Copies of this chain bind each other. A is one copy, B any other.
Amino acid sequence: MNAQLRAISELDRVIHEPGRLMIVALLAGVKECDFLFLLRETEMNKGNLSSHLARLEEAGYVEIEKTYRGKVPQTLLRLKPAGRTTFDNYRKGLMAAF
C-alpha cells in the first residue's frame, strides 16, 4: 500500500463523517458555542445535530455542557484537547493524501 492510500485508510472515521466534520471544524475555530448556533451554521436538523454531538462526546472529542440562559435551556459545546489533536491529524492526513 502506498503512502497516499495509507493516509486515506487511517483517517479518523468519527471525524470523517461530513456532519461531524462541520461541527468539529466550527468548534476548532471558536472555543465555545451553543447548540442553536451550530444548528444554524450547519443547516442540519435538530435530531441529526443532537446525535452527531452525542457521538463526538462519546468519542471524547467534544464537551457538552447543559446550562441555562435565563430560564431557557442552553447547550454549550467545546472541542476537547483530544478532539483538537484528532482534527489536526485528520487535516494532516488529508494533506498527505492530496
| A interface residues, Cβ below 8 angstroms from B | 1-2, 4-5, 8-9, 11, 13, 16, 18, 21-22, 25-26, 41-43, 91, 94-95, 97-98
Contacts and interface: CB of A to CB of B under 8 A. Distances in A.
Nearest to A43: B1
A18 B22 contact: no
A8 B21 CA distance: 7
Contact of A18 (B8, B21, B26, B95): B8
12 contacts: A1-B43, A5-B22, A8-B18, A8-B25, A9-B18, A9-B22, A9-B42, A9-B43, A11-B18, A13-B18, A16-B18, A25-B97
Assembly of this chain: how many copies? Answer: 2
